[in-house]
Amino acid sequence: MATQNIPFTIRKNYTRLLNGAYLGVQDKYYDAVYNIGTALSLWSSRTSSVNDSPIPLGTKALPPRPFLAHEYTGINKVRNSTSWTGAGVKVGILDTGLDYTHPAFGNCFNTTNCRVRYGYDFVGDAYNGNNIPVPDRDPMDSCNGHGTHVAGILAGNDGVFQGVAPDATLGIYRILGCSGLVESSVIIEAVETAYNDGMHIINLSIANVGGWNQWAESSVIDKAIAKGIYVVGSAGNNGAEGLWALGAPAVSPNTIAVGSMEVPRMYSWALDVTVSGRTYRVRRTDQQPTSIPLDITNAPFRRGLDAAGNDYACQPITANVKGAIVLIQRGFCDFDTKATNVIKAGGLAAVMYNSDGSEMQTPEYYAALTLPTVGIWQRDGQKFVTMLVGSQSATATMTQAIDIVDSDVPYTPSAYSSWGPNIEAVHKPDVMAPGTNIYSTLPKSRGSYGLVSGT
């Protein structure tokens, strides 16, 4: 490249799985580099993202609970019939890091008899997928929570709460900063390090929608698999995009791509509605704002209708909803407008049902509003609309407690779970597993335990 007068910088050399380098080259020289012809492969670095939003700081602390999903994955059966706990197995987690001070991970890192034995921070907090990483040796999950949640599913052990393999040895490779974004070069370096540390399994809960198997990160993963490592990748959370939305690096034919399915029973926040003496329990989102205590029992439950008979709450509510939990529909105006109209009408709280079949949405306010508001599925909202016709005696109960709720669509793909096949028409995902409202570990600064959904 120097002989061709192409300016470049060598940012990283790869020698363990790939024989290559990460170069900094301006876009305008890409064709010139490609035409040199001495490289077997030439890739542009791409950005991938973690599949969930950061867990809010200051989330109320929750206690450990039994891992309910084990009932549907066969883990309980394995535990009851064998002594297998994952001892001797090394699992590398490439994610946002880990709060290893959590009791479920022994409050230790890289010490004798510590299960969190390996790890490295490849990026630093300020890394956003485009700037220069600032690595260090401490893979603490300092600003997201996703990696700690994943690690709990895999190998957390707090007595009451136990992950799939509670005695497994963990390698924590932090590849995402506070932004939740990562470029290909960092993924390659982390996979090579996990291989060098002797990991038997590598987990990547990140996705680049519509990726190709020939991309750099997929290629290094294929080489790791050829060395005998099992690599598990997230199918992605882009189910609303339909077919072909599977994320890289899970698109690789040899990677175990995991999608999410609904199970019969799960932990959730609940909405209990009583009509004509019969109580119906449905799953709901956490309330917004979370800072307001939510403990409403047997309050009137009424639709927030305006003068035209619409329940979007975009216009002043004319129905009598004073002192009631108000049922409104999503759409046509922002959440602040809806909440303001419910408050002006005297409502205690709002339940917002979706206007389509997509995943129920937690309302978010821009203004400092004090109305507790939760989201529910469209199908549940429509059911309640039918029930409330002509009824003035319906009541509803909502509290902050997490309980066990039955699913009305068990053993079906989760609405958010990405569909296959991959871009080259290879059947994906490879397996489906419980992914909705998984109760697992969180950083202590974010509540210690909590619910997260995803693949």
What are 200-217's pLDDT values in tens digits?
999 999 888 777 778 888
Residue 58 pLDDT > 50: no
Return the half-sphere exposure (C-beta side, CA atoms, 13 A cut-off) of residue 30.
8
pLDDT of amino acid 313: 97
Q: Is 339 helix (H, G, I), strand (E, B) or coil?
A: helix
Asked if 219 contacts 12 with a C-beta cutoff of 8 angstroms, the reply is no
End-to-end CA distance of the chain: 42
How far is Cα 128 from Cα 123, in angstroms, rounded to an integer?
9
pLDDT at 173: 99
Three-class DSSP category at 120: strand
* Structure tokens that stand for 267 in this block: 């932990």
Mean pLDDT of 104-110: 97
pLDDT score recorded for residue 54:
53
Alpha-carbon distance of 371 to 268, in angstroms, equals: 21
Residue entry with tokens 């002192």: 323
Q: Residue 32 has what pLDDT?
A: 81
Provide the CATH number for the domain formed by 49-263+409-452 in this structure: 3.40.50.200
Tell me, which fold does domain 268-406 have in CATH?
Glucose Oxidase; domain 1 (3.50.30)
Answer positive or negative: Cα dihedral of 100, 105, 107, 109.
negative
- The per-residue pLDDT for range 141-176, each reduced to its tens digit, is 998 899 999 999 999 999 999 999 999 999 999 999
Per-residue pLDDT, averaged over 111-123, amounts to: 97
CA distance 286 to 402: 9
> What's the whole-model pTM score?
0.90
Count CB-CB contacts under 10 A for residue 244: 17
Please compute the mean of the pLDDT values over residues 235-256 and round it to a whole number. Answer: 88
Q: What is the pLDDT of residue 91?
A: 99
**Tokens representing residue 130 in the block:** 């485009």
The answer to whether the beta carbons of residues 351 and 396 sit under 8 Å apart is: yes
DSSP string across 375-418? EE-HHHHHHHHHHHTT-S--EEEEES-EEEEE-SSTTSB-TTSP
Query: Where in the chain are the domains?
Result: 9-42, 49-263+409-452, 268-406
